[in-house]
Structure 1
């Protein structure tokens, strides 16, 4: 058996051997210093980055933030650029391997995919470490061009240094930009600016056929609109140009609490419709011992020098209590860091987290809440949050960001941090039950959550008329179904 010449960078490094290719017969890697079993060896393609089977690295890519699944890849690619990704995708599709991008988001040593149910996994395939693509290329007064592995925190600080900010930010900023725009990316300004995917002006993407393409609303528009919020089904985003807007200096945070659901929802709708706050989040506070839930709205006004009058901002609203806090814009955008540090210190961060994210039709939101909330206990939420807030569906511009067929939808975001050592299986069963209840009321899912046993019928019902849009794009740009198998959309 002979092999073509292989440069040092082409070689795949392992803990104790240099690997020269993949044995497609035995589905194992062929090394230079161990006997090679009979079979066909597919030599590795040229790479400027590195591909490793080091167990420490593959194990780090085997789990995600949800800690509900294990999807250990055969190897991990640290790409030097899009050409490495294109070469690996071509190699994978010709050798029956799967490929997925892994954001490796977070801070310090707590780096992992921030998917919740194995969505970024590539079990028995090749995982691409997005952190290797970490350059901010340009910042202008209106946009920034960044590699897909740059986090929103990195971009936010770089933009703030020039008095700019991304218009839409997730609550937790230490997430890769490529990862969030691939599934949408929702935050407290969705009612003003849509999802993070809606703030993207162009992308560089490697398709499932190994082509490196630029996509914009006018150049490869079908690819542009199916890659953004498309769950990684048509390509691996490697670079993006995202909008920036002038950054305010200060944030006036009004915390409004409510004793009854109707007033809570009515005030949220009032705030949404008149647009008085650029940032709006609602939260449901489940009470112990079967007491009725309480409710909270966090509404934020931005300013530079003179703070707005809180009483003016509260006109027409009917909270039970009101609290006001004045802080810097940056401190507000990083507010989740304190929460994350607390969760880590208490041992919740690495425990299983069966999250559930739904988009509810506004007309049936009260019905769903009345059916769902009696079955949710404080222990179900643990140290987490249960968010519920509205936005207008016309703010979303990409067809695969699926929302109910109504002008207004509510995000129902069950961000559970159950107590450590809690068995997650009952929570997964609950998620499935709540999902079934919600879909009967016209709801759709947001793709980060943990919903077990999704079938092809479930996915077809989820996408509705856009199922054809997705399948046509999949057949065009990833006909061998090589990419992002962890979403389980395609068999």
Structure 2
């Protein structure tokens, strides 16, 4: 059987690694009776989505980058084998992107979580940056950089994600309109390619690999170190939420705030479909909503969330900035709220929601999420598409809608955006499906609904692209990449010609070396 053949190859690898390296290689629980090993292997077949479960044959917990290089060098020399490898950071993928059915999962959190902060000498020379392990979490980088009064410029909403994991996708949040995604704020990378080569790359050194890996869905190499651009961190943040009952005005005000990057430091928007959604979204917002819009069956509200950094130089500066912003907005009177929090607490705001959900047993449940990039001209039709396909009064979870600017993204990276105008909306339908409420049949129905929405939204009339995509076939992947498909295939043939890496994405089948690129056309 194929599985037995793969397992024999893994046994050989274990012997090689045991001789050459102190790394820990955990074999399948079929060979080891230890419950601790069983738990570790099982964890590698689970992700945040909890929709697909793909058990690997083995799990590697490397102690150094050389361990990863040794594994991939061995596999790339074995063109007759079909073993695949997936790098797993914090395991927050949605559709098994960090899993490797019958293959090998590399648990990146076992690498030393080294973080080195380099502060610029003065305002005239150089810049500040951090060198950080690919398996480290963004919250760890934030905690360390704040000791120097610094922080990265661009974030994700949730900080307990790995550096390498978000850089393999994009890394987006409310700062994206101003500074671009996280992949636009990287200076240098250490990458182990699918051939086992350890390469230091940057925009000027091995640049093809550098840009391929950023947003590359783990297809070209494994990020083991990243050099992240830093800037001065504010002491506090003035954080606002303003409510709307008209979608057009909601969108108009968001686009107004995007046009004010010198004043606004963070911007997101979300749909408030029901009263429960309003209450759950307010857990992290430490200000009492003393009066809220009244919900009826036909009501749908919208909320703009924005923030202004406070460096505490002159108290009047922030107040003047806030006044310039709010006097131009057309929110629903009197529903605007503000709070002042520390910079760390603001960036770590989703952690409070996580703790609340964990306490209620609602965190480790299926998450059939849908994330889309929608062009400005198609956002109203996309909103209607969502409304027509969902029962909003029963919806559980946030629905994000906020704008970014395409010119903040480097087109050399592998990330895919709509091939349209500069202003694009991020839409995140972040639904939870607790088994007590949503059965397996219910979950499958949500997944099918999301696929229908993606199909309709990807049509030319809306022109949307999926983010954190999981496409059902090669034809769908080609359509997803559009004009960038040939470049993506060429990069794959150059850096991972045997298609060892990223099997969970389902883009490239494991192939022999010769004729690999033509197989994927």
Same fold (TM over 0.5): yes
Q: SS where residue 442 of structure 1 aligns? A: coil
Mean CA deviation greater in 49-58 or 211-220:
49-58
Partner Cα separation in structure 2 for residue 25 and residue 457 of structure 1: 31
- Number of residue pairs matched? 451
Query: Is 2:6–2:83's contact at 8 Å kept on the other side of the alignment?
Result: no
Partner Cα separation in structure 2 for residue 43 and residue 379 of structure 1: 57
Query: Is 1:271–1:277's contact at 8 Å kept on the other side of the alignment?
Result: yes
Q: Gapped runs of 5+ residues in structure 1?
A: 1-22, 33-39, 106-112
Q: SS where residue 388 of structure 1 aligns? A: strand
Shift of the alpha carbon at 1:56? 1.7
Residue by residue, what CA displacement relative to the aligned partner does 1:282-336 show, whole Å, maximum 9, x if unpaired?
A: 0011137752421000010001222324332212210002111111111101111
Corresponding position of 1:35 = none
TM-score by length of 2: 0.83
Q: SS where residue 204 of structure 1 aligns? A: strand
TM-score by length of 1: 0.88
- Residue 412 of structure 1 pairs with residue 427 of structure 2: yes
What pairs up with 1:324-403 in 2 under 5 angstroms? 324-378=338-392, 381-382=395-396, 384-397=397-410, 398-403=412-417
Query: Is 1:380–1:418's contact at 8 Å kept on the other side of the alignment?
Result: no
Counterpart selection for 1:117 from 89, 95, 105: 95
Corresponding position of 1:13 = none
Partner Cα separation in structure 1 for residue 95 and residue 144 of structure 2: 31
- Where in structure 1 do 4 or more consecutive aligned residues deviate above 4 Å? 29-32, 40-43
Shift of the alpha carbon at 1:48? 2.7
Q: SS where residue 308 of structure 1 aligns? A: helix
More strand by share: 1
Partner Cα separation in structure 1 for residue 238 and residue 194 of structure 2: 46
Partner Cα separation in structure 2 for residue 388 and residue 179 of structure 1: 23
Residue by residue, what CA displacement relative to the aligned partner does 1:181-220 show, whole Å, maximum 9, x if unpaired?
A: 0111111100111111111100000000110001100111
- Residue 44 of structure 1 pairs with residue 16 of structure 2: yes
Shift of the alpha carbon at 1:24? 8.3
Partner Cα separation in structure 2 for residue 442 and residue 30 of structure 1: 45
Counterpart selection for 1:319 from 331, 334, 339: 331
Residue by residue, what CA displacement relative to the aligned partner does 1:49-71 show, whole Å, maximum 9, x if unpaired?
A: 11012322110111100000111
Counterpart selection for 2:170 from 166, 181, 184: 184
Query: Is 2:405–2:423's contact at 8 Å kept on the other side of the alignment?
Result: yes
Corresponding position of 1:75 = 58
Report the CA distance shift for 1:379/1:58 in structure 2 as closer, same or farther (over 3 A): farther
Residue by residue, what CA displacement relative to the aligned partner does 1:103-126 show, whole Å, maximum 9, x if unpaired?
A: 1x2xxxxxxx10001001011111
Counterpart selection for 2:116 from 125, 138, 141: 138
Query: Is 2:64–2:112's contact at 8 Å kept on the other side of the alignment?
Result: no
**Structure 1 vs Structure 2 CA RMSD:** 2.1
Q: Gapped runs of 5+ residues in structure 2?
A: 28-36, 120-127, 276-295, 510-521
Query: Is 1:49–1:84's contact at 8 Å kept on the other side of the alignment?
Result: yes
- Residue 203 of structure 1 pairs with residue 189 of structure 2: yes
Query: Is 1:74–1:125's contact at 8 Å kept on the other side of the alignment?
Result: yes
Query: Is 2:185–2:229's contact at 8 Å kept on the other side of the alignment?
Result: yes
Query: Is 2:267–2:307's contact at 8 Å kept on the other side of the alignment?
Result: yes
Counterpart selection for 2:144 from 155, 158, 168: 158
Query: Is 1:399–1:466's contact at 8 Å kept on the other side of the alignment?
Result: no
Partner Cα separation in structure 1 for residue 238 and residue 505 of structure 2: 39
Corresponding position of 1:308 = 319
Shift of the alpha carbon at 1:346? 1.4
